[in-house]
């Protein structure tokens, strides 16, 4: 199915504005996507009609809010293909989801001299929590190397695996390069040595069809705001038997079964991991974002984004001084690059002056930038509402900017 992009753009109020006197071209989707009107309406409706605390209220509003909240959990279950909704935990975002696993699963099941494997292209949020854990437990962090195109060396990865490997935590799609990792093979290889696998799905869930049961990953972490949903909300999927074996993360209300001063017993999953009043409004609105994606279908969205990326590669290539960074065979719609002789900040600022929003810098992947021997990149990342004509405008602008140092 080919999408009607004009009609889709009509659903996103934020896109229809001028920046510095130029029509906004929003290419910072890997940082956060814009929100359709349905998500904005859901937020407003919740506060305007249903606002109440969920799960133990003895009144109609609380019942309604609880119902909507749990409907989102079911929608997320379906979205990732989990066996049951209880395996879906709401968090603040991908970062908190990963930290939750590090602080609970990690603290209980990873000990001295055990090994955790990550890749060179991880976001800091999939590096630092493991470094903290390794420091505390005396465990060892192992790094999968990558090639010049920005793809992991699978053979080297296999060499890192051993009975000491307790966890492989790997990004599904790289935020800085767009590389899609061969996670199916990674998971199988890790399981063969008895290791668990966490997938960082922050950049993949908006683009790729994901079925956690087929993939057989043990954990999947992602954020709502990169999926056309609200900020401050994330998801942690975990297999029931693992979540049940894990100790709680935060202590407080909601996560308990019974509290006495002598001993507290904990609630069932997922509530064991959702202490305190959760982010009710954003959870409820997130369902509208998932409905938006479902309405068009990820295959159609991905096909559109792939066409945008191919068009971008083609139109930017002739620009004198254009240096692509990350040229993997399999990519999500991320175009990372540098302009010869220019700092990414300057290129970003000049694009901004043309109304084009991109991200510049190290993209929270400093070890990856070091691997490529660069300080950072300019990153344009495309979403379902972007168009080829926007890319043409960027190519035109970039050609002019590049001439500054590439005459």
| Positions in the binding site for another protein (CB under 8 A) | 20-21, 342-343, 345-346, 349-350, 352-354, 375, 404
Residues 6+ apart with CB under 8 A from 173: 179, 180, 181, 201, 203, 204, 207, 208, 331, 332, 334
Kindly report whether the peptide bond that precedes residue 270 is cis, defined as omega within 30 degrees of 0: yes
HSE-CB at 401 with a 13 A cutoff on CA atoms is 27
Q: Considering beta carbons, is residue 137 or 405 the nearer one to another protein?
A: 405
DSSP 379: E
Closest approach of Cβ 314 to another protein, in Å? 25
Report H helices in 193-268: 212-215, 240-245
Q: Considering beta carbons, is residue 301 or 369 the nearer one to another protein?
A: 369
Closest approach of Cβ 358 to another protein, in Å? 13
Q: Considering beta carbons, is residue 70 or 375 the nearer one to another protein?
A: 375
Residue 120 contacts residue 143 (beta carbons within 8 Å):
yes
User: How far apart are alpha carbons 267 and 271 in whole angstroms?
Assistant: 6
The distance from CA 328 to its chain's CA centroid, rounded to whole angstroms, is 19
Closest approach of Cβ 363 to another protein, in Å? 14
User: How far apart are alpha carbons 95 and 337 in whole angstroms?
Assistant: 26
Closest approach of Cβ 20 to another protein, in Å? 4
Beta strand pairing call for 219-223 and 234-238: antiparallel
Closest approach of Cβ 352 to another protein, in Å? 8
Is 364 known to be catalytic? yes
User: How far apart are alpha carbons 386 and 6 in whole angstroms?
Assistant: 9
Residues 6+ apart with CB under 8 A from 99: 125, 129
User: How far apart are alpha carbons 55 and 62 in whole angstroms?
Assistant: 7
Closest approach of Cβ 347 to another protein, in Å? 10
Catalytic residue (one of 85, 364, 374, 399): 364
Beta strand pairing call for 356-357 and 334-339: unpaired
Closest approach of Cβ 19 to another protein, in Å? 9
Residue 110 contacts residue 239 (beta carbons within 8 Å):
no
User: How far apart are alpha carbons 127 and 365 in whole angstroms?
Assistant: 9
Residue 197 contacts residue 237 (beta carbons within 8 Å):
no
The tokens for 15 are 């896109």
Report H helices in 251-297: 280-296
Closest approach of Cβ 12 to another protein, in Å? 24
Report H helices in 271-387: 280-296, 298-316, 344-353, 366-372
Q: How many helices (H) and strands (E) does the chain have?
A: 15, 17
Q: Which residues are catalytic?
A: 364
């Amino acid at each position: 199915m080919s999408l009607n992009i004009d009609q889709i753009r009509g659903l996103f109020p934020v896109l229809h504005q001028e920046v510095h006197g130029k029509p906004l071209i929003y290419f910072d989707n890997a940082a956060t996507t814009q929100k359709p009107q349905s998500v904005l309406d859901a937020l407003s409706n919740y506060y305007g009609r249903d606002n109440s605390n969920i799960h133990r209220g003895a009144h109609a509003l609380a019942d309604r809010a609880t119902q909507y909240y749990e409907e989102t959990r079911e929608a997320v279950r379906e979205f990732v293909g989990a066996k049951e909704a209880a395996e879906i935990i709401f968090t603040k975002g991908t970062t908190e989801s990963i930290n939750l696993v590090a602080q609970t699963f990690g603290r209980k099941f990873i000990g001295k001299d055990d090994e955790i494997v990550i890749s060179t292209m991880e976001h800091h949020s999939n590096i630092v929590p493991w470094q903290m854990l390794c420091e505390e437990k005396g465990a060892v962090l192992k790094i999968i190397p990558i090639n010049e195109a920005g793809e992991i060396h699978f053979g080297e990865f296999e060499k890192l695996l051993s009975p000491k490997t307790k966890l492989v935590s790997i990004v599904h799609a790289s935020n800085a390069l767009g590389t899609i990792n061969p996670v199916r093979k990674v998971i199988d290889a890790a399981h063969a040595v008895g290791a668990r696998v966490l997938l960082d799905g922050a950049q993949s869930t908006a683009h790729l069809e994901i079925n956690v049961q087929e993939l057989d990953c043990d954990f999947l972490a992602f954020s709502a705001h990169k999926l056309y949903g609200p900020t401050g909300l994330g998801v942690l999927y975990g297999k029931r038997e693992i979540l049940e074996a894990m100790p709680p993360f935060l202590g407080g209300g909601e996560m308990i079964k019974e509290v006495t001063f002598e001993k507290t017993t904990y609630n069932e999953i997922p509530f064991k991991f959702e202490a305190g009043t959760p982010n009710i409004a954003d959870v409820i609105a997130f369902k509208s974002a998932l409905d938006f994606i479902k309405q068009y279908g990820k295959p159609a969205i991905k096909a559109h984004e792939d066409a945008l990326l191919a068009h971008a590669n083609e139109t930017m290539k002739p620009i004198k001084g254009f240096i692509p960074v990350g040229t993997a065979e399999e990519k999500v719609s991320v175009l990372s690059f540098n302009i010869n002789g220019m700092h990414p900040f300057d290129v970003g600022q000049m694009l901004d002056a043309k109304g084009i929003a991109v991200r510049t810098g190290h993209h929270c992947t400093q070890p990856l930038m070091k691997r490529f021997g660069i300080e950072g990149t300019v990153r344009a990342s495309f979403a379902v509402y972007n168009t080829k004509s926007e890319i043409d405008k960027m190519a035109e602008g970039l050609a002019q900017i590049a001439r500054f140092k590439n005459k």
